[in-house]
Amino acid sequence: MAFSTCINVYVGRGNVTEIVPYSDVTEGELLDMSGAAKVEVCVGGAESDSDLLPTAIWWATDGDGVWTIYAKLGLVPAIVAGQQDLRVTVYDGDYTSGLVLTHDTQLYVIGPC
């Protein structure tokens, strides 16, 4: 799944980025995350996951079957300022090695003032 947006992220800040995951973006099939065990984010070379940062990376449904991944990307340890790529991976029973949702979401990471 690829996005064509650029998202501003602020180092050390808890601004929330919302990602609606698709299992097949070309067919518009939303990913059912009811069995999800973990979500991993990678910003440039900085990685973290919902096990390590449960208050910064989580997911929920709106009740109509639309799942959203929430991530406070500025809180990912070792994140550095500049233009970075975002990669999101979901782990569950069907994807024990992980399902990568995006390779080319662009982030503009803004350092602390």
Reported as a single tens digit per residue, the pLDDT across 24-60 is 878 888 999 999 999 999 999 999 999 999 999 999 9
From residue 47, give the alpha-carbon distance in Å to each of 26, 52, 61: 27, 10, 24
Lowest mean pLDDT among 16-30, 46-60, 61-75, 87-101: 16-30
DSSP 43-78: ETTEEEETTT-TTTEEEEE-SSS-EEEEE-GGGSTT
What residue segments make up the domains of the chain, in order of their start? 6-110
pTM score of the predicted model: 0.89
Token pair of 91 as six digits: 């782990």
54-80 in b/e form (b: 16+ CB < 10 A) is: eebbebeeeeeeebebebbbbbbeebe
* CATH code for the structural domain at 6-110: 2.60.40.10
